[in-house]
Amino acid sequence: MSGTVAIVGASVAGVRTAQALRGEGHDGPIVLIGAEATLPYDKPPLSKQFLAGTWDTDRMTLLTEAAARAADIEMRLGASAQHLDVAGKQVLLADGQRVDYDQVVIATGAAARPSPWPAASGVHVLRTLDDSRALRADLDRPGPVAIVGGGFIGAEVAATARALGHPVTVIDPLPAPISRLLGPEVGALIGQIHRRHDVDTRFGAGVEAISGHAGQLLLTLTDGRQVEAATVLVGIGAVPNTDWLAESGLLIGNGVVCDQYCRAVGRDEIWAVGDVARWQHLEIGEAVRVEHWTNAVEQASRVAFNLTHPDELRSYLPTDYVWSDQYDWKIQIVGRPYSAATHQIIGTPNDNPPRFAAVYSDKDSKLAGAVTVNWSKALMTCRRLLAHGASGAEAIALVQTLVTPAVTR
């Protein structure tokens, strides 16, 4: 294939798509379009190493200018996409330029859900390099930090703020963090991470209001209590970046709606990848959108293959995987625990540090997923068994054989 491929979005999904296209033998022009003026960068360190000041931007760069030249990838950075002209096969940029394409890959990702609580200053979200810089500037000053949202971003920022010496309060309306995904029992075990590191947890309460300014913020909770903070992070989810596609005629619904090959519905020349893609997952039987780094990388590879091999398209059927490093805990999740009917906990969740796995089975007794804490070998075992359609009982038995003093983390 020798036509022009425009990739709209220069985070990990877009960069990996461009690189994979070259690996699959595409010899035509590739144009990588990014809204931010900085070189493409990886986002997981934004809540950890970069926020803590232990990494600089060079360690996060996904594609240098030299590497782009070597791969013959044209980068158009610092101008966001404003409109997709489907009939004319052009991407209209904010600076007025137009990028012609034969095939286009939408990789615009997702944006942090805005804070619904207005305050003069000191209230942050975290999704971009500029977000992390602004939050770090406030964390350079002393004072307590309040985290609204007990998901992965909130927990990782809480860990970073504690390491920087700040008192931290985590607030979440759920009785235990990420319990919608893992269930209340395992969610409660995950919640121990904060208490073991002297974090004040306010689970089961939401936020009604945030007032004040940086250094003097007051959060009013739904249970009537109040929390004082110098800095607030609001981590309440993300929304796919599809506003620029509103007049494109594409089917949009919680992302760009795609078929099982990650092509936009009804368009053979338009693809979507990463956080913005909502594709038909044949095993689940419905369209899904996944906001995980691993999914973005694996989906980019599949889109590049399908784009360059139109006569041998392959459905995208990933095994879900996500990880989070918090304090001295490494949490890894594989599969779909939220779809399970039962689970069993194996290991030592009350040790310091803990090492345990929760193995989830669906209503048909098949392995549905697993979550591990500080136990990578158990995670790899469950990931392999998921790929082979093993039963929950088989996974439990194999993980139990790993419970020995010789097990390494």
- Tell me the HSE value of 60 on the side-chain side, using a 13 A CA sphere: 23
CA distance 372 to 395: 13
Q: For the CA atoms of 185, 190, 191, 192, what is the dihedral angle to 10 degrees?
A: 100
CA distance 114 to 124: 9
Helix (H) or strand (E) holding 88: none
pLDDT for res 179: 84
Percent above pLDDT 70 for the chain: 98
CA distance 32 to 64: 13
pLDDT for res 2: 78
CA distance 361 to 396: 10
User: Residue 409's pLDDT band (boundaries 50, 70, 90)?
Assistant: very low
Task: Say whether 44 sits in a helix, a strand or coil.
Answer: helix
Pairing verdict, β 286-288 and 277-281: antiparallel
- Give the Å distances, CA to CA, from 25 to 1, 18, 71, 213: 8, 11, 11, 54
pLDDT one-digit tens code per residue, 156-182: 999 999 999 999 999 999 998 888 888
Pairing verdict, β 207-213 and 216-221: antiparallel
pLDDT for res 284: 86
CA distance 167 to 146: 9
- Give the Å distances, CA to CA, from 101 to 44, 58, 270, 273, 352: 31, 31, 10, 17, 55
pLDDT at 406 over 80: no
pLDDT at 64 over 90: yes
Distance of CA 241 to the CA centre of its chain: 14
User: Residue 1's pLDDT band (boundaries 50, 70, 90)?
Assistant: low
Q: Are 102 and 89 in contact (CB under 8 A)?
A: yes
User: Residue 408's pLDDT band (boundaries 50, 70, 90)?
Assistant: very low
Tokens of residue 224, six digits: 């009537």
Q: Are 143 and 309 in contact (CB under 8 A)?
A: no
Domains of the chain listed by start with CATH number? 5-110+239-308 (3.50.50.60), 114-236 (3.50.50.60), 328-400 (3.30.390.30)
Q: Which of 71, 65, 94, 69 is nearest to 19 (CA)?
A: 71
